[in-house]
Amino acid sequence: MKKLFFLSFLLLIFGLAKAQVKETPVSSSTEEELENITANNDDMETEDDSYLQEMVQFQRNPINLNYADADDLNELKVLSPMQVQNLISYRTILGKFLSIYEIQAIPGWDINTIRKIRPYITVSEEANLFSSFKDRLKGGNRSLLVRAGQTLEKAKGYLVDPSVSNSYYPGSPQKLFVRFKYSYKNLLQYGVVGEKDPGEQFFKGGQKQGFDFYSAHFFLRNSGIIKSLALGDYTVNLGQGLTQWMNLAYKKGPDILSVKRESPVLRPYSSSGEINFHRGAGITIGKNKWEATIFGSYKKVDANFNAADTSQSMDEFVSSLQTSGYHRTPSELANKGSQTQMAFGGNFSYQLNRLHLGINAIQYHFKYPLIKENYPYNLYALSGKSFGNYSLDYSYTYKNMHFFGEAATSQKKYGALVSGLLISVAKNVDMSFLYRNISKGYQSLYSNAFTEGTYPTNERGFFSGISVRPNDAWRIDAYADMYKFPWLKFRIDAPSTGSDYLLQATYKPNKQLEMYMRYKSETKSINDNPNDITLNPIVPKPKKDWRTQFTFKVSPVVTLRSRAEVVWYDKKGDDASQGFLFYTDVFYVPPMAKFSGNIRLQYFQTDDYNSRLYAYESDVLYNFSIPVFYGTGYKYYINLNYDAGKKLSFWGKFAQTIYPNQQSISSGLDLINKNHKTEVRLQMIYKF
């Protein structure tokens, strides 16, 4: 199999020398946001590529600004609520746009906003005429995506003798992903997905059905009174994420206006992640100023059974729900689908001019009760066979101010509040404020509000941000966030506080050059008990980060990008450590050609894991990675893309990380007894 990967890779390099690539639609600010999400989620990368799918879809079928409503514009995740309202007001007063260049006259739309949104919008006199269901089924685009990836070095899990231990990886080391998708503009979509992780078997053993994970969906939009109809797998996003939010959502970053969550309630699901989705049916109906959504779901989920309490049988309760999606070893296979989850809920919203009000509810029922381990920080953890969340969300735009928020409660009567304000102080100055107060007993599943913690619970905080654009070339973004955790947390055995500050200056004088400098400082408390005394002292640990990045378009064909970053952890304390990272990218994208690609050369050096660094890596279309770097090493990768025609495209990635001072990489069954790790990924998309 290794030879096959190398031969395929060499074919991409040497045999297809005049190809074309379509770059993944990710801006530098989006890359930063994704890095922040990974850092805040305990190094867990998201597998939700729905955002990338949507942006490619909008490139192919741009939004017509003459007929788009607020929901259409919010899906782009480019415009702030005030910019959306300004566009609608401009169109109401002055009529339809006569030319795309007229968008420069919309109040609050600066040159950088226009550059970001331009690939996804159009201006036309033709309305989006009603399409019959039959036309939608026949007039769309079909595509088949096949992706395969592998780490070439064998990990310990593949080398263990099954006769000696039953803890090993019985499957092949390849990661496989297949997706068939049909789409008609933004009105109809259906498809199926199959995915196999490295180490999982394929059509044998514990996976006789082939892929470890299957997914199917059917999604209809804007058909009379039906605004959305979801069958199969879909996601639900409610309010500001206190009760439910299953798709990608940003947290703290340089885009200080992204603190507000914006999304339709129902969305189709066709990604490889095995956790954050519902399986069943949902429908949104609406007329004039109101909309109502109901949904139901039933699926099996992975869970750990708890055998610690010998007074109860092993199958009576579970200690946790598993989120890794791995089903390789016998213990992982035993956990697969061992818990059944039923969920149902709904939303009712009313829009009166610039006022929005929504009521949200969701209820869960499990086959086995969830009982966490008996640790103090688990005192208020999610428990039982059934639980639910209920909320009221709101937003209101008044002149240059936009108020928004969500007030929620759990079934056990614990409350949560997120409330924010966005202000356009001047033509070139924006500000944002967000207050959250989430009780220590408030718990929810599949939620993602704007909080410091991964989940909205046990937190009080206040965020304030400002964005200043002195002229078209400069932009200065800054924020301050102060927060408190009233109850204990994992590795924090007392109530604690923290703070986070960022200052970033971006310089973009023209289309050829963009550079930014960023300073970030955060302080978090953690258990610190080197003398092993009875009570764990809580000690604040500061972390400071400086980053400089520039992008320069050398020619219409070649673009250079470089980043240098330094991090200091607990600089004057007992755990002082420092990290450094530097990389250079070269992008080769010839206009109207079939071949393109990019390469990266990177060096990193950190004293330990505390001074770790993150860096977004470009990849094959619809895929990305954000690895964590610590220790000392080098990394390089090359991405290539070849468009064999309008119907067939190929992608390939070759990446290697080298640790010159180490004899092994990782640990446990993932241990590699070498100082380097090599990854290969191939992808094909066929359109028909």
Could you count the other beta carbons within 10 Å of the beta carbon of residue 254?
25
> Mean pLDDT throughout 466-488?
95
- Is the separation of the CB atoms in 296 and 280 below 8 Å? yes
Q: What is the pLDDT of residues 280-315, one digit of tens each?
A: 999 999 998 999 999 999 999 999 886 544 444 445
Q: Examine the pLDDT at 177 and tell me if it is beyond 70.
A: yes
Q: What is the pLDDT of residues 23-62, one digit of tens each?
A: 445 677 778 888 888 877 766 677 888 888 888 888 888 9
Q: Where are the domains of the chain?
A: 67-122
Q: What integer pLDDT is reported at residue 130 of this predicted model?
A: 61
Q: How confident is the model at residue 2 (pLDDT cuts 50, 70, 90)?
A: very low
pTM > 0.85: yes or no = yes
Q: Examine the pLDDT at 162 and tell me if it is beyond 90.
A: no
Q: What integer pLDDT is reported at residue 22 of this predicted model?
A: 46
269 CA to centre of own chain: 13
- Is the separation of the CB atoms in 428 and 418 below 8 Å? no
Q: Examine the pLDDT at 1 and tell me if it is beyond 70.
A: no
Q: How confident is the model at residue 17 (pLDDT cuts 50, 70, 90)?
A: very low
Q: Nearest Cα to 361, choosing from 415, 408, 405, 394?
A: 408
Which residues make beta-bridge pairs with 425?
A: none
> Mean pLDDT throughout 508-531?
91
Q: How confident is the model at residue 16 (pLDDT cuts 50, 70, 90)?
A: very low
Rg of the chain over Cα atoms, rounded to whole angstroms, equals 25
> Mean pLDDT throughout 556-567?
96
Q: What integer pLDDT is reported at residue 49 of this predicted model?
A: 87
Could you count the other beta carbons within 10 Å of the beta carbon of residue 488?
20
Q: What is the pLDDT of residues 606-649, one digit of tens each?
A: 999 999 999 999 999 999 889 999 999 999 999 999 999 889 99
Q: How confident is the model at residue 363 (pLDDT cuts 50, 70, 90)?
A: very high
Q: What integer pLDDT is reported at residue 315 of this predicted model?
A: 52
- Alpha-carbon distance of 233 to 248, in angstroms, equals 16
491 CA to centre of own chain: 26
Q: Examine the pLDDT at 11 and tell me if it is beyond 80.
A: no
- Comparison of pLDDT for 490 and 125, the residue scoring more: 490
At 420, list the tokens. 């924010």
Q: Examine the pLDDT at 73 and tell me if it is beyond 70.
A: yes
- Judged on CB neighbours under 10 Å (0-12, 13-18, 19+), 340 is middle
- Alpha-carbon distance of 446 to 364, in angstroms, equals 11
Q: What integer pLDDT is reported at residue 10 of this predicted model?
A: 38
Q: What integer pLDDT is reported at residue 61 of this predicted model?
A: 86
Q: What is the pLDDT of residues 638-681, one digit of tens each?
A: 999 999 988 999 999 999 999 999 999 999 999 999 999 999 99
- Alpha-carbon distance of 429 to 425, in angstroms, equals 5
- Alpha-carbon distance of 188 to 136, in angstroms, equals 7
- Alpha-carbon distance of 663 to 475, in angstroms, equals 45
Q: Nearest Cα to 596, choosing from 13, 63, 169, 11?
A: 13
Q: What integer pLDDT is reported at residue 129 of this predicted model?
A: 52
> Mean pLDDT throughout 136-149?
93
- Alpha-carbon distance of 336 to 383, in angstroms, equals 20
Which range, 47-61, 531-545, 555-569, is most confident? 555-569
> Mean pLDDT throughout 432-441?
97
Q: Examine the pLDDT at 97 and tell me if it is beyond 80.
A: yes
Outline where DSSP puts E strands in 508-631: 513-527, 538-553, 558-569, 577-588, 595-606, 613-614, 628-629
Q: Examine the pLDDT at 441 and tell me if it is beyond 50.
A: yes
Q: Nearest Cα to 451, choosing from 423, 424, 396, 489?
A: 489
Q: Among residues of the chain, what percentage have pLDDT more than 90? A: 69
- Judged on CB neighbours under 10 Å (0-12, 13-18, 19+), 424 is buried
At 597, list the tokens. 């690609």
> Mean pLDDT throughout 418-445?
96
- Comparison of pLDDT for 7 and 492, the residue scoring more: 492
Identity (one letter) of the amino acid at 220?
A: L
- Alpha-carbon distance of 345 to 331, in angstroms, equals 33
Which residues make beta-bridge pairs with 350?
A: 290, 357
Buried b (16+ CB within 10 A) or exposed e, 381-413: ebeeeebbbbbebbbbbeebebbbbbbbbbeee
- Alpha-carbon distance of 24 to 319, in angstroms, equals 40
Q: What integer pLDDT is reported at residue 151 of this predicted model?
A: 97
- Alpha-carbon distance of 622 to 645, in angstroms, equals 19
- Alpha-carbon distance of 168 to 369, in angstroms, equals 30
